Structure formats: structure tokens, C-alpha cells
Structure 1
Amino acid sequence: METFNEYHLNPEQFPFLKGLQDEWEVIRDEFTIFIQQASPEELKFAYDVLGPKSKTIKTKGDSKYSAFGILFQGLFIEEYIQLHQIQYPDYGTNEASAKALALRNKYFPNLADAIDKVNFGNDNILRNVYFGTFHPGLDIKLHVNYNPHTNRGYLGLIVPKGDIAMKICHEQLYWHEGKFLILDHSYPHCPHNYTNYDRTVLVVDFFKPDKLRDEVIGFEKEQVTQRMQDNPYSLGVFGKSDKAKQEDFIKYGLAHQLEWDKAL
């Protein structure tokens, strides 16, 4: 039986996620069709424009993490681009927004519909929804995601067998196809993919249901404003606060030490 704690949370606590989990095969198929059938221009646009970029989270080698999505800070991507008037090297704001909407309608109608249904019945609780792919050999350095107002869910879509895990505190946690892994990312963590295959999940950030909604909305607004000023291509998902501090390394190391002491 799986055990849960303050950073590894039981998905049954969040029944609204069932609306996405029940559609996981449809969502996986939309992703697969896009990757296989999209034109080079569409693929480039997705990863250049629809993918949140981080300046602080680093990898240990050349292998990379890629991401793109359709919902950011509770808005579909085309609305988010317009709200923040994001300018891209190859696209103006209006062009990028129009292309994003066309791409969403063409390839991800079922995912968009599932998001709409969950948010309609749960006061817009979903904040970010995007595909995240770990490429073979990926090893991300220790970091935190300073988002005390949200939890992060990973819905497994394509998870090959082998050593693909999230190291958080003293544990290694694993993704499984068709199931959610829910984490509080304020704890120091470092994921890896030591296989020869891609791993893709649907990343779903959502407001913590036990927090007052007015408070989390206010915090999100302040955080996103700062993150967009620092890096508009972060789409408000990543920021300078994600960088691990000395106390995070101590916290992470201490968790391992305590577990080793128990074993001894």
C-alpha cells in the first residue's frame, strides 16, 4: 500500500482531479497525435511559445526537459498571452495568441473540455496544465518550486519501465500511467530519467483547497506579476525563488540522514 505524508499527498483528497484522470487515455492520444502529426512549424511554436521557461532550474548534463501547455494561471494560453501582452522574437502578441488558439482547437479539444468541466464545477481551481517530457538521461539539480498556494499533480501519460523517479526528502517516488502523483513542491526535490525513453506526464497545478480562495488568488497575482517582469516566457510558472538555497540542501540532506539513522 502506498504511504502518504506532508509532501506526497493522497490523490483521493482531491476528487476534482478525477475529471482529468478519467480522460487520461484521450489526453495521451491527443499528445501523441500532436507529436507525430504536427508540422515542424507547429512543433516549434508549441515549445517556443506554449512552454513555460525557467532561468533557475538547471540540469546536470546535456539532456533536457521540454514542456508546452494550454492553461496558465487559470487562463487558456491565448488569453494569457493577450493579458500580459507577451512579445516573442518571431511573433507579435496578436499573432501568437491567434496561433495558440488555433493549435489548441486543432489538437487538444478534449483536454480543453476536461479542464473547462473541472474548473466550472470547482471555482477555477486548476491553474496550470501542461505536458512535461523528461528526455533520456535527464537529471535535474536540486531545487524548490516556491508555490505555497498550490500543489502539483502529475498525471502519467507515457511512463516507460526503468529508473524514472522524483527524489524528494529521503524518498524516491514514481510515476504511473493513468494515475496522479501529487506533491507539495515547496520541499527540495530533484527528478531524473535514467532510461533510454521519453517520459511524459500532464502537469496540473491547482489551488490548495484548504487555503482561503481570496488569499491564494492575491498571492498568485503578486507572484505572477514579479515572475513575468523577470521572465515573460516563464508564463508565471517558474521564477527566481525556485533556486535552492543553502537551507534547502541542509533540509534535503538531513532527511536522508534521519532515514539512514533509522535503518542503522
Structure 2
Amino acid sequence: MMRPGPGYRVGQAIVDWAERLNLRYAAVGNPPVHDNATFPWVAEIEREWELIRAELDRVLIRKEELPGFHEIVSEVRSISTDRDWKSFVFCGYGSSSEDAIRACPETWRILQKIPGLKAAMFSIFEPGKHLQPHRGPYNGVLRLHLGLKVPAERDKVAIRVADRVCHWEEGKVLIFDDAYEHEAWNHSGETRVVLFVDFVKPTRFPASAVNWMLLNLAPFTPFVREGYKAQKRWEKLFFAGEGS
């Protein structure tokens, strides 16, 4: 294996330092799974979930044309290399899809209620999909899942975050810290879909300033730029001819 270069090592050292700050100065604590009452705006998201579900249903008519998540975000290839985890992306760390927003305007309007929104997509797990244990690359964000299409076989569809197993519910929000080890599975015979969101983790100064800087530098990293290009290539094919 090639040893990481000095640039990578310096960058990772900065991220490690920022993660320690985020843990120390967290404004909402550092639990693996958060209480929704911590975030008052969650109730507004849940109140309008059926509008999002209606737009999702239209997207799912062309489900087989959607890309595997690993085709958009290369980093997930270590845990998923098939098309049983599909995505429909609205925005991601500095970029947004005008076509996806146009196709799902109510979803986009509702997403604006989330403070510090950084990324959002429909995340689609086909029957039998199992993501092996992994953790996110940086603890400066929290992850939100809004259950949109959840199989009835509750015991076969779940996500484990640290030592806690959670089950999605349609119309209900789940907020967790993806910097903890987690895995997810759909062992049912139906498709599971959530609205998948990353938003800025609330922190106090100085962590808030460092986190703001790193998250605003993210669009310039090779990882995010590669994902942006892959997303644009897919959009060109999927939305070709629409509106003409």
C-alpha cells in the first residue's frame, strides 16, 4: 500500500483536531442518537411529510434509472458497490441540482426549514440491502432520516448506531451522529426510502468557527468535486428532454 503523502497527513491532523473541538464544545451533547425535542424545527418537517412522499412516489416511477449511491459518492465504495442503494440528490456540500429541485419543489421548500442544511437526497434501500459497519468521515454534521416508505416488517428493517438499534417510521424523523459506527439493513421484501439529510452540528465557539471553515472548504476537496461531476453526468441523462 502507498503511504499517504504529507498533504494528506496534515489535512487529517486538522480534521482530527476539529473533531476533538466538536466533541468538547458540542451545544447539544454527543449522543449517538438525538432526542428530536432538541431540535424544535423537526415537528415542522414531520407535519408536511406527506407532501415529500407524494413527490417521492413520482420519482420512484423511474427508480431503475436512478444511480447507485457509490456512482455519485466514490467514498462509499468501501461499503457498497451495487445499485441496491440508490439516490436522488437535491444538494451536497456546496452544490445543488436545479433539475431535482424543479421535480420536487415541495421537498426543497421543506428542506429550507433545516438550519445548516449541507446535503439532502432520497436514499433508497432495495430488498436485501445491508450496509456493513462504518462511520462518517467527520463529526461536524449530524444526519437526519425522515421515513418516507418503510416496509411493514419492522423487525427486518433497521439501523444500528453505536449500541442502539433504531427503526424507521413513516412520517417520523431520526437524528443521529454518523461519526459513530453504524450499519443499516433492509431484510424485508419491499423497498425502504428515507429523506437523508446532513446538517451542521450545533457547537459553541471556537469549535463553531473551525467547523464553519472546514465545511465551507469541503466543496474544494477532490472528493466533493468528483461527486459533483458524477452527479451532473447523471442528471444530464436522467432529465434529458424534460421541459422541452
TM (normalized to structure 2)? 0.70
The one of 101, 108, 113 aligned to 2:104: 108
Gaps of 5+ in 1: 78-100, 237-264
Q: Which moved more, 1:153-162 or 1:167-176?
A: 167-176
1:75 deviation in Å? 4.5
1:64 corresponds to 2:84: yes
Matches within 5 A, 1:1-264: 6-36=31-61, 44=65, 47=67, 52-59=72-79, 64-73=84-93, 75-77=95-97, 101-105=98-102, 107-116=103-112, 118=113, 122=115, 125-162=116-153, 163-212=156-205, 213-226=208-221, 229-230=222-223, 232-235=225-228
Percent identity, please.
23
Cα distance in 2, alignment partners of residues 233 and 196 from structure 1: 34
Contact 1:135 1:198 in 2 (8 A): yes
Evaluate the alpha carbon distance shift between residue 211 and residue 223 of structure 1 in structure 2; reply closer, same or farther with a 3 A threshold: farther
Evaluate the alpha carbon distance shift between residue 61 and residue 145 of structure 1 in structure 2; reply closer, same or farther with a 3 A threshold: closer
Evaluate the alpha carbon distance shift between residue 232 and residue 76 of structure 1 in structure 2; reply closer, same or farther with a 3 A threshold: closer
Partner in structure 2 of residue 98 of structure 1: none
Cα distance in 2, alignment partners of residues 48 and 167 from structure 1: 22
Contact 1:151 1:182 in 2 (8 A): yes
* Number of equivalenced pairs: 196
Evaluate the alpha carbon distance shift between residue 148 and residue 235 of structure 1 in structure 2; reply closer, same or farther with a 3 A threshold: farther
Partner in structure 2 of residue 80 of structure 1: none
Partner in structure 2 of residue 247 of structure 1: none
Contact 2:157 2:187 in 1 (8 A): yes
Gaps of 5+ in 2: 1-28, 230-244
1:31 deviation in Å? 0.7
Cα distance in 2, alignment partners of residues 102 and 65 from structure 1: 21
Evaluate the alpha carbon distance shift between residue 126 and residue 19 of structure 1 in structure 2; reply closer, same or farther with a 3 A threshold: farther
Cα distance in 1, alignment partners of residues 192 and 72 from structure 2: 18
Q: Which moved more, 1:129-138 or 1:140-149?
A: 140-149
Evaluate the alpha carbon distance shift between residue 61 and residue 165 of structure 1 in structure 2; reply closer, same or farther with a 3 A threshold: farther
AA at the equivalent of 1:47: P
Q: How big is each residue's C-alpha offset from its partner over 1:157-209, in whole Å with a ceiling of 9 and x where there is no partner?
A: 00012211112222221111111111111111111111111100001111112
Q: What is the SS of the residue equivalent to 1:137?
A: coil
Contact 1:67 1:131 in 2 (8 A): yes
What do you get for the CA RMSD once the two structures are aligned? 2.9
Evaluate the alpha carbon distance shift between residue 224 and residue 144 of structure 1 in structure 2; reply closer, same or farther with a 3 A threshold: farther
Cα distance in 2, alignment partners of residues 136 and 20 from structure 1: 27
AA at the equivalent of 2:32: Y
Evaluate the alpha carbon distance shift between residue 234 and residue 18 of structure 1 in structure 2; reply closer, same or farther with a 3 A threshold: farther
Q: How big is each residue's C-alpha offset from its partner over 1:203-251, in whole Å with a ceiling of 9 and x where there is no partner?
A: 111111234443222111334433xx14634349xxxxxxxxxxxxxxx
TM (normalized to structure 1)? 0.65
AA at the equivalent of 2:191: D
Cα distance in 2, alignment partners of residues 6 and 28 from structure 1: 29
Q: How big is each residue's C-alpha offset from its partner over 1:70-95, in whole Å with a ceiling of 9 and x where there is no partner?
A: 12225532xxxxxxxxxxxxxxxxxx
Q: How big is each residue's C-alpha offset from its partner over 1:87-107, in whole Å with a ceiling of 9 and x where there is no partner?
A: xxxxxxxxxxxxxx24431x2
Cα distance in 1, alignment partners of residues 146 and 133 from structure 2: 22
